[in-house]
Amino acid sequence: MGKFNRVSLATILAVFSVQVFADDNSWFTPENISAGLSTGFLSGEARERVYEPAEGGRKISQLDWKYNHAPVIKGSLNWDVMPRFTV
């Protein structure tokens, strides 16, 4: 297949794809979009230690955190592009 034929085939496929999407806008409808909002509280512990390898692995820093009932707000926006593909 020559270079011209490949370019022509690619152009035809691109135009066909655009026409299909232009004629059928069912992929972008309000039914395909959903939003959510949730709240809650988070509790836990975290430990962070920093070691210096140049000094034989000596610990140079340590942080210990505890958090109780930290408020959390989560928002989401989903778009079902296809049945098995969500953005």
Global model pTM greater than 0.85: no
- Give pLDDT, residue 29: 72
**Number of domains composing the chain:** 1
Q: How confident is the model at residue 22 (pLDDT cuts 50, 70, 90)?
A: very low
35, 37, 26: which is closest to 81 by C-alpha?
Answer: 26
Residue ranges making up the domain that contains 41: 3-86
Buried b (16+ CB within 10 A) or exposed e, 46-82: eeeeeeeeeeeeeeeeeeeeeeeeeeeeeeeeeeeee
Q: 36-74: per-residue pLDDT in tens?
A: 999 999 999 999 999 999 989 999 999 999 999 999 999
